[in-house]
Structure 1
Amino acid sequence: MAESELLEFHRAIDRSESTKGMYVYRAILYRDGASGGRFYMRVFRPGMSKADVDLEDLLAEVKSQQAGPCPGAGDVGGEPLLVDIAQVFPKLPPSFMSVEPQADLYVKKLEIGLYDNPAFHKARRDAIMSEANVLEELRRRPHPHIVKYLGCMVEHSRIVGFVLEPYKQTLLQRCLAKETPLKVGRCIAQIAAALAHLHDMGYCHNDVTPRNIMLKEDDTAVLIDFDSCQRMGETLLKGTAAGWRDDASRTSVVKNDWLGLALVENFLRKSFGANE
């Protein structure tokens, strides 16, 4: 029998006014080794990190509880709750490409998040479909400096991940490692070309940061991560990471991309100087 696999680990905090910012619980999503099903559980372990998670220990702890009323499945301290993937993952449209993941490819596995809140289920499905639509358009209109998308990873006719070409490292990792000098001007020009291609398609990326730019072995820059990418003029569903955006922006506009790229260039100049 296969071992159970940890899929997601989230630290939940209370956002109510009375206890705002206080730790509440850890949310864990795992794949059961016997059934292959996804399960969601919540535990009160304030000091526990992702590296500390022992699924067998947590499951044994839940089963050993004898005193007091037993919490419901999915409640804090309760038994694991079987995840209905139809609630959070959208159906694969007939025109979309589906592929089997392979060892030499990268799979962006789509997170479920806090499954205990049904109010977010439709929003999650809509966000996944939004990203899938962009990637499918890019499959038909590729660009050398935009991540190569190969198709969707599918389970039970549902989109659960995106299969992509793998790259060496993120731009942020390169900056932190400070290896050989990076040709900053070349990198920025390549991402500018990728953004112009998106804009020609009627989209804005809306999340241009060093984490969302990757480098190939020869330092060719590639734009990745399209979960904030939306058509021009649409209200932002997610938006740009803090520190890399116009905080007043609420819509998908080209200004978001050029501001993000300018901030990335400033960041690179601090790390690599005026090297072109």
Structure 2
Amino acid sequence: MPSPHPQSPSAHVDVLQMREAYEEVDGAFTFTGTLVVYRSGGDLHHAFSKARRYSSPSDVKVEDLSNHILIPASAYSPLFPSGFTRAPDPLPQNCHIKKPSLMSYNRVCQGSQPNRIAEAVLQEAAVCELLKQHPHPNIATYLGCQVSPDGRITGLCFVEYKCTLMKEVNPGAHMKRKLRSEFQRRRSKDYSGVMAAAESDIEHLHAYEWYDEKVKTALPQNDFDALEEIRIWLGDDSKPFQFD
């Protein structure tokens, strides 16, 4: 649903999510614009900007944006089911709140499942509830659902790690080519234990058959194949992963 501009021109926007968009043109990926999800009043909106490389979300202005689309709460925030775990209130300081990405909503809203993002949130919450009953030491500890006053799930809460995966693998925030060069140069850290732990995590998840055999990308072997690619990329000499 198209939505009006949230504020007067030149006003800053309360940006929640932002990502550059690219399209393949003549065999090369070309920048097409910046996708923006912003809050105006109590509503969320999806919009498009032709500008590139904002230094921070606060640099985005109303006049930069076009193609405004109102995002209804039902599209990303499912109703909280009875029997699910409600996160503690107030939340502990070491809590990470995982919220859904709305970057693709401009395409999702035009499809046959406009509430697909909300359905994915509910499905992930159901898996987290099962993991709460069958925990694994290498899988983030689930605290429950963050719930809005009107009874909708607004986020999934976990005990926060001290370091993100990105900071661990890429502490210098290098681009991909530079990052690979750095790995080739130093190779000073042994990741074999990390990879073995990841294999253990996957075995635990697939032990409960949380995949659909009709969906190729959901097959457990594909997860192990991906780990093997990472192992090779890291130059790890540990034993290749096997799936029985």
TM-score scaled by length of structure 1: 0.62
After superposition, where does 1:70-109 map in structure 2 within 5 Å? 77=66, 81-99=69-87, 100=89, 101-109=91-99
Deviation at 1:172, TM superposition (A): 5.0
| Counterpart Cα distance in 2 of 1:157 and 1:234 | 34
Change (3 A) 1:82 1:22: same
Percent of aligned pairs with the same residue? 22
SS at match of 1:168: coil
Task: Give the RMSD, CA atoms, in angstroms.
Answer: 3.4
- Where does residue 256 of structure 1 map in the other structure? 222
User: Are 1:26 and 2:20 an aligned pair?
Assistant: no
Do the aligned residues in 2 keep the contact of 1:92 with 1:158 (CA within 8 Å)? yes
SS at match of 1:192: helix
Of 27, 40, 48, the residue aligned with 2:46 is 40
| Counterpart Cα distance in 2 of 1:12 and 1:130 | 27
- CA-to-partner distance for each residue in 1:102-136, whole Å, 9 max, x for gaps? 43211112122243341352322232222222112
- Where does residue 16 of structure 2 map in the other structure? 7
Deviation at 1:265, TM superposition (A): 2.5
SS at match of 1:97: coil
SS at match of 1:167: coil
Do the aligned residues in 2 keep the contact of 1:233 with 1:251 (CA within 8 Å)? no
| Counterpart Cα distance in 2 of 1:87 and 1:52 | 23
After superposition, where does 1:1-276 map in structure 2 within 5 Å? 5-13=14-22, 23-32=31-40, 35-45=41-51, 47-49=52-54, 51=56, 53-55=58-60, 58-59=61-62, 61=63, 77=66, 81-99=69-87, 100=89, 101-117=91-107, 118-120=109-111, 121-155=114-148, 156-171=150-165, 173-177=167-171, 182-203=189-210, 231-235=211-215, 250-269=216-235
| Counterpart Cα distance in 2 of 1:180 and 1:23 | 33
SS at match of 2:115: helix
Deviation at 1:147, TM superposition (A): 1.2
- CA-to-partner distance for each residue in 1:110-169, whole Å, 9 max, x for gaps? 122243341352322232222222112111111111111111222332222211111132
| Counterpart Cα distance in 1 of 2:73 and 2:55 | 23
Do the aligned residues in 1 keep the contact of 2:19 with 2:36 (CA within 8 Å)? yes
SS at match of 2:66: coil
Structure 2 residues without counterparts, runs of 5 or longer: 1-11, 172-182, 239-244
Do the aligned residues in 2 keep the contact of 1:175 with 1:268 (CA within 8 Å)? no
Task: Return 260-269 or 170-179, whichever deviates more.
Answer: 170-179
SS at match of 2:213: coil
